[in-house]
Amino acid sequence: MTVTTETDVLIVGGGPAGALLGTLLARRGIAVLVVERQTTFDREFRGETLAAPSVDSLRGLGFGPALDAHGFLETEAVTMRMEGRDVLHVDYRRFPIGTLPIDIPQPSLIGIFHDAATALPSFSYGAGTAFTDLVVEDGVVRGAVLKEADGTRTTVRARLVVGADGRFSKVRRAAGLEADVQPMARDFLSFKLPRPAGWKHEAELIADGEKHIMVLPTFPDLLRIGHNLPKKGLSQLKRAGFESFRDGIAALDERIAPLVHEHLTSWDDTSFLEIFTAELDRWSRDGLVLIGDASHTCTPILGQGVNVALQDAIVLTPVIARALADGQGPVTERQLAGFVQQRRTHKRFVTKFQRMQEDALSKNSPLQKLARRARYRLLDKLPVKYKMFDRVINAPHEIDPVDRELGRKAPAVVAG
């Protein structure tokens, strides 16, 4: 047995949400154990875009020097092209927030949080440790059963268990919190290519009927490409052969055609993402709360998954601190109600917007394509365009003054 058996807060999952929450709580001197079933931070391709509010928040929490030391790529705009015509352009430099979204690999981001946390005495980390079940007494969650890397089963008691274990959350299932899972019409296949010199720092969505690709310049010198597939269409795509897949991508954007033929050599260079949204009415019960993808799963549109996960952690930190200070027992659902209400409202709004985009992108008849282009062109001309996008991607974000002060005083840990 290597993990502690008693803690104030047990966080299941060391993704962006769990890693940041663990660090912020440990800075406040709260005993926290983060358990992560993987043994390293390396993971399959994940969301690498940090929206502007998260960049601002992380700087406000003292992670600016580590981000600067690592390096990142700033995205200046997003452009949509449909059937060969530019239909919408949003210049991120025109938003009042005054900060640009950045691209940084997710393992590096998690590493930055982890490096800041490991020096803190109240922080513990269980690598290769998986959640298996909850400990529930008289209807109240009192801890969890974990399976450690060597196969040992350990029961950890905690005043709060946080389920930050992602889109297929086992904590959510064990807690009996039901998710309304809505599959989107399409799934996604992603891959990376070298980025040619002089490539604009703009996210691009290129659509032809119901086929589209996202082309995202990313750190350090790469392009991330996301290609939509019909739902459950991966096996059909594979049956048609790798060459046909590459030709399909090249036909959507001739600029990347030579890169695709040179650098995309097998299906192993791609990763698959099933697209669905999951929404829950109830995110907590006595002794337990869900955050990040576990509490609400978005689609990849406008790169909001990581952003909303980080904001969950930032908003929840002072709520947990207050609840723990207010008594000795488990943190109650009532104490978490304000947090759930605030974050659920925002995340539902993001999902509603994403569903509208997804719906528009899955149109294929000539009339539907014409109407879609006309709609985006009209939006492009309206001043409300900036207001609308601002509301989705730059939602107001606040940092508790205590966390800001602790971030200011935190030693600048810049090792990777």
Instruction: Using CB under 6 A, list all residues that contact ligand FAD.
Output: 12-18, 35-38, 44-47, 49, 130-131, 164-167, 170, 271, 273, 292-293, 300, 303-306, 309
Q: Nearer Cβ to ligand FAD, position 45 or 199?
A: 45
CA distance 211 to 134: 43
CA distance 89 to 96: 17
Contacts of 92 (CB under 8 A, 6+ apart): 52, 75, 76, 77, 78, 100, 101
Q: Nearer Cβ to ligand FAD, position 92 or 131?
A: 131
- Minimum distance from CB of 166 to ligand FAD (Å)? 3
- Minimum distance from CB of 112 to ligand FAD (Å)? 14
Contacts of 283 (CB under 8 A, 6+ apart): 177, 289, 290, 291, 295, 296, 336, 340, 343, 344
Distance from CA of residue 102 to its chain's centroid? 13
- Minimum distance from CB of 303 to ligand FAD (Å)? 4
Residue with tokens 């459950």: 232
- Minimum distance from CB of 270 to ligand FAD (Å)? 10
- Minimum distance from CB of 378 to ligand FAD (Å)? 27
Q: Report the chain's terminal Cα–Cα distance, integer Å.
A: 28
Q: Nearer Cβ to ligand FAD, position 353 or 373?
A: 353
- Minimum distance from CB of 406 to ligand FAD (Å)? 21
Q: Nearer Cβ to ligand FAD, position 87 or 350?
A: 350
SS3 128: coil
Q: Nearer Cβ to ligand FAD, position 304 or 351?
A: 304
DSSP 26-86: HHTT--EEEEESSSSS--SS---EE-HHHHHHHHHTT-HHHHHHH--EE--EEEEEETTEE
- Minimum distance from CB of 164 to ligand FAD (Å)? 5
- Determine contact, residues 276/181, Cβ cutoff 8 Å: yes
Q: Nearer Cβ to ligand FAD, position 109 or 373?
A: 109
Q: Nearer Cβ to ligand FAD, position 20 or 373?
A: 20
DSSP bridge pairs for 176: none
Q: Nearer Cβ to ligand FAD, position 267 or 369?
A: 267
Measure the CA angle with vertex 160, ends 155 and 162; round to 5°: 90
Contacts of 254 (CB under 8 A, 6+ apart): none
Q: Nearer Cβ to ligand FAD, position 190 or 373?
A: 190
- Minimum distance from CB of 309 to ligand FAD (Å)? 4
Work out the angle between the directed axes of helices 305-325 and 401-409 (0-180°, nearest 10): 100
- Minimum distance from CB of 17 to ligand FAD (Å)? 3
